[in-house]
Amino acid sequence: MQRILSPIKEFIKDSRAVGLVLLVTTMISMWLANSSLYKPVHNFLHQDYLYLKAVHLPSNHAAWINDFLMGFYFLLVGLEIKRAFLTGELSNRKAAIAPILAALGGMLLPALIYSIVTRNTPYSQGWGIPMATDIAFSLGVLSLLSKRIPISVKIFLMALAIIDDLGGIIVIALFYSQTITLSFLLLALALLFILWKWPHRLNNYVKIIWSLGIWYCIHRAGIHGTIAGILVAWCLPLSAAAYIEHKLHDFTSFIILPLFVFANTLLPIPSIASFLSFNTMQLGIIYGLTIGKPLGILLFLALGVRLGWCQLPQGANWKHLSQVGILASIGFTISIFISQLAFISTASQQAAILAIIVSFCISLICSFIVYQLLKLFTK
C-alpha cells in the first residue's frame, strides 16, 4: 500500500508548486498582453514557417507548443491513468466507482448546460470545454487552502481528475479531430502495435524515435497529435512508467505547461463594458464550469451512495466533497486546450479562454468562501 501511496503523495505535494507557477505565468501573460509588448510577443508565437508547413509539421511556435510539446503532458497523463487503473487507486472496482460516477456527472451536466445555453448558435460545438478538470490547479488550490483535508479526499479529487482527463481525451479524439487520412492512421496503428507487442526489443533511443514517428503519423492522419502521447503511454510496459514520469515530470510541469498557459492566455482584456457583456458561448462555459461541474459531481455521487453502488472516501464527509466539487470546476489547461480545437476563429478562441479565466476566478473565490464557512461551522 505504501508503494502505491508514495507517488500519489508526491504528486499532490508537487501540484502546489505547479499550481502556483501556472497562476504566476497566467498573470505575466495577461500583463504582457495588455502592454506595448503584446504585438511582438504575439507575432513571435504565430509567425509561420512555410518550409515546416510544406512537410505537414506545425508551422509556428504556438502550434509546436499546442500540438507537439503538449503530447509529453498527455504521455504523463496516460501513464498516470494506466497506473491508476492497473495498480493504483482505481484498480479496485468498488473504490473506483465513486470517482467514476463523480467524474461522469461532472462531464455530462456541464456539457448539457452549455448545449442548452448555446443551442441554435454558431458556438454549439464548444460543449467539450466545460467538461474538464485541471489536476495541477485543483489539487494545488485544495492543498493550499487546507492541510487538514484527509489524504483520501485529495486522492479522490486526483482520481476524479484523471477520469475526467480520460473523458476529455476521448472527446478530443472523437469530436475535435479533422478529416481522417486512412493511410497514415493505419501506419500509426502498425507502429503502435509493434511498440505494444515488443517494447523490450527496442532500446530507449529507438523508442523515442519510434514515438516521434507515431506522433507524426497521428498528426498527418488528421487526429490531434497530442493523442499520440496517450496511445504511446498505453503501449509501454507499466515497469517503464515510473522511470519516464521521473524523467519528464519536472520538464512537463515547469516548462511545457507554463509555456502552454503563456501562449494561450496572452489575451488583451477588453473594456469593462464589453468585458461584462458575455456572449452565449462565454455564458455557457461559465455556467457549465461553475454550476454544472460541482452540481453534476455531487448529484451523481449522492445517487451512487444512495443506491449502494459506492461509498464516500474514508474519513471524508459531504462538507469535504462540496469543496472538491467546486475545485473540480477549475478546467483551465484542458478547457483552454479544447477551446483551441473547438473554434477556428481567433476571436472565438480568445472569448472562450476569457470565460475560462473568469470561471477559474469564480471557483477560487467560492472555494475560499466554502473553506471559511467550513472552518466556522466545524469549530
CATH number at residue 267: 1.20.1530.10
Burial of 362 (0-12, 13-18, 19+ CB in 10 A): middle
104, 164, 217: which is closest to 337 by C-alpha? Answer: 164
Residue range 64-90, pLDDT digits in tens: 998 899 899 889 888 887 887 788 766
Rounded average pLDDT over 121-132: 92
Position 104, amino acid: L
Q: Is 332 left (phi over 0), alpha (psi -120 to 50) or beta?
A: left
Residue range 155-210, pLDDT digits in tens: 788 788 878 877 887 888 788 876 788 899 999 999 999 999 988 888 888 888 99
Kind plus residue range of the DSSP H or E element containing 109: helix 93-117
89, 143, 109, 84: which is closest to 301 by C-alpha? Answer: 109
Q: Count of alpha carbons within 13 Å of 37, Cβ hemisphere only?
A: 9
Q: Using 50, 70 and 90 to split pLDDT, how confident is the model at 245?
A: confident
Residue 136 lies in a domain: yes
Residue 203 lies in a domain: no
Is residue 217 scored above 90 in pLDDT? yes
Residue range 31-46, pLDDT digits in tens: 998 899 999 999 999 9
Phi first, then psi: give them for residue 275, nearest 5 degrees: -60, -40
- Nine cell digits for residue 54: 510544406
**Residue span of the structural domain in which 58 resides:** 2-177+224-377
One-character DSSP codes across 246-282: HHHHHHIIIIIHHHHHHHH-------HHHHH---HHH
Residue 10 lies in a domain: yes
Residue 62 lies in a domain: yes
Terminal CA-to-CA distance of the chain, rounded, Å? 33
Residue pair 313/150 in contact by the 8 Å Cβ criterion: yes
CA distance 156 to 28: 32
Residue 38 lies in a domain: yes
Count: domains in the chain: 1
Residue 189 lies in a domain: no
Q: Which residue has the cell 526489443?
A: 201
Q: Using 50, 70 and 90 to split pLDDT, how confident is the model at 371?
A: confident
CA distance 98 to 105: 11
Give the distance from CA 125 to its chain's centroid.
Answer: 18
- Name every residue whose Cβ is closer than 8 Å to that of residue 197 and which is 6 or more positions away in sequence: none
Residue 190 lies in a domain: no
CA distance 267 to 350: 7
Q: Using 50, 70 and 90 to split pLDDT, how confident is the model at 2?
A: very low
Q: Is 96 helix (H, G, I), strand (E, B) or coil?
A: helix
Residue 206 lies in a domain: no
Share of the chain above pLDDT 70, in %: 89
